[in-house]
Chains A and B, each alone.
Chain A
Amino acid sequence: MTSMRIVSGLGLLLGLGLAAGQAQALEGDAERGQQAAGTCVACHQADGSGMNVSGGESWPRLAGQDAGYIAKQLHDFKAGRRENASMMPFANMLDDQQIADVAAYYSQMPVTEAQGGEEAEEALLARGEQLALRGDWDAYIVSCKSCHGPGNAGAGSTFPGIASQHAGYIEAQLQAWQEGERSNDPQNLMGAIAQRMSDEDIQAVSAWLANQSVASE
């Protein structure tokens, strides 16, 4: 299953017309991934839970994330298609096999709880729930669920799980899309929606998603 997902991730890269080496179809090995992930734990933690850092840069939860999605992000960091000063040097340390292995390793971990939405007020959470589950079509904001899948737990290798992700991370990513600093999504699918979200919408949906639990398979 893991390797299937990575292969479909490759299809996506090809579809975008990016130079995709055949190495990206490599099958990941979770045990080898654990060895290669030695430097990741400082931020992403041993259990892959990451950390919500209020007022600073939050580190995303990787535990239970789709392997194809993780591998694509690592390749994008290496190639400069996704920019992040903290992440780039670590992505650069991994070769193609190690990327596949690390991705397999984190994808097999149970999804952990997220932080950053604990103190959000009821009205904000209600708005967040609306955006996540139903969207706001008058503003042409389609629901998160319509791409990120049932329970916003992720769909295939293209649409990551965002429920039970740290609020600080989601917020930073949506802002990055809004400002054009992140653009490694297929066909600007996320960018177009982020553009139409207000600051309050971003806060609301980040807090609500962080408060959700995801049952691991």
Chain B
Amino acid sequence: MKLHRTTLAVASATLAAGISMAAWAEYEQLVEMGYPAPEEGELVHVPPTMADLEEADINPELKKVIRRGYDLFTNTQQLRGENVFNDMNCSSCHLGEGRQPFSAPVWPAAVTLPDFRGKNQHVNNLEERIAGCFAYSMNGTPPEYGSDDMLALSAYHQWLATGAPMYPDQPIYGRGFPPPERPETLSYENGEALYMEQCSVCHSEDGSGLYVDGEYVFPAPWGDGSNNWGAGIVRTHTAAGFIKNNMPLGQPLSLSDQQAWDIAYYMTQQERPQDPRYTESVDQVLEQFGPTFHKHSSYGQVREQDDHRLADHANWGEKGDIVPWNVGVPRFEDLED
């Protein structure tokens, strides 16, 4: 316990200006649960909660818009059939309302963008980043830039970043879904057995999630209700990082690294709607994105168990022939070096 306190004191001394000791104390529970303590020089930010919003000294109209953003973030299904064509909410993957460290907290997007993004090879701002989630993770098409819904969502992101420095030059504590070390071998069979044992009680044996009278309870890890082949979490290491740090719900870090990777390996070798960057064939997608994004996924690979070539289909899921308007749109092509 004494050592623990010392560590905290050292950490807090090296935190960015504006991060108080009191704020860091909020994360003590996480460290007790086995998450790493912040390393020297890391940016630790504790986003405000919706209770803090009520107390905040900001324009009441802004509060309303942030509340709307929170509502969209945690119940994105209200955009079903318009912008969302699967069974997911933003908060299905970004746990704890987008605030949670090691669960891809969303506030870093508000302080690190605009920036160059490898996935689409140009500079993206916060809205374009959120639009990407709609095209891939929600298997849909985004609300227009500048629209009420887009503004509300970005306002919620920015509100969560309240007090964090813009363009921080330090690494961010708890950013993304940090993957555990990749084991030497991955086992589909072991992943399947573990999935049935540890995951299917909530996510169903067929990966369709759990819905009560059509209302969302647990998200679908694969199939038409899930993210499409272009979403970040189809990459095995991202799925492993999500699982290790967040699953089973309420018991993060309870699976071994091998178990988390095996489940991720199994999960990411199931079918899901086509990558919206697909225009003619799996080989075309692989030619364009095989060396980069899909280097980390099982896209276009032949599943050993049944010789099924993954993603070799033109199934777009519920969105049918709707094409997300933000995919494959280059920007800033005429800028001089």
Q: Which residues on A are within 8 Å of B, measured CB to CB? A: 11-12, 15, 130, 134-135, 137-140, 142, 146-147, 149-150, 153-156, 158-159, 186-189, 192-193, 196, 217
Q: Kindly list chain A residues whose C-beta atoms are within 8 Å of the C-beta of B197.
A: 15
Interface membership of B248, Cβ < 8 A: yes
Per DSSP, chain B at the interface is mixed
Q: Kindly list chain B residues whose C-beta atoms are within 8 Å of the C-beta of A196.
A: 29
Interface membership of B63, Cβ < 8 A: no
Q: Is the CB of B248 within 8 A of A189?
A: yes
Against A, the Cβ 8 Å flags (1 = close, 0 = not) of B190-228 are 000000111011100100001011011100000000000
Q: Kindly list chain A residues whose C-beta atoms are within 8 Å of the C-beta of B51.
A: 130
Q: Is the CB of A11 within 8 A of B205?
A: yes
In the complex where A137-B95, A147-B217 touch, is A156 in contact with B29 (Cβ < 8 A)? no
Q: Kindly list chain B residues whose C-beta atoms are within 8 Å of the C-beta of A149.
A: 212, 215, 217
Cα distance A159–B30 when bound, in Å?
Answer: 26
Q: Is the CB of B97 within 8 A of A156?
A: no
Q: Is the CB of B196 within 8 A of A15?
A: yes
Cα distance A161–B82 when bound, in Å?
Answer: 31
Q: Kindly list chain B residues whose C-beta atoms are within 8 Å of the C-beta of A150.
A: 212-213, 215-217
Cα distance A188–B202 when bound, in Å?
Answer: 13
Q: Is the CB of B250 within 8 A of A193?
A: yes
Q: Kindly list chain B residues whose C-beta atoms are within 8 Å of the C-beta of A146.
A: 217, 249
Cα distance A186–B27 when bound, in Å?
Answer: 28
Cα distance A150–B214 when bound, in Å?
Answer: 10
Q: Kindly list chain A residues whose C-beta atoms are within 8 Å of the C-beta of B248.
A: 187, 189
In the complex where A149-B212, A150-B215, A156-B210 touch, is A134 in contact with B250 (Cβ < 8 A)? no
Q: Which A residue's beta carbon lies closest to that of B216?
A: A150
Q: Kindly list chain A residues whose C-beta atoms are within 8 Å of the C-beta of B217.
A: 146-147, 149-150, 155-156, 159
Q: Closest Cβ of chain A: how far from B98's Cβ, in Å?
A: 10
In the complex where A11-B205, A155-B210 touch, is A142 in contact with B215 (Cβ < 8 A)? no
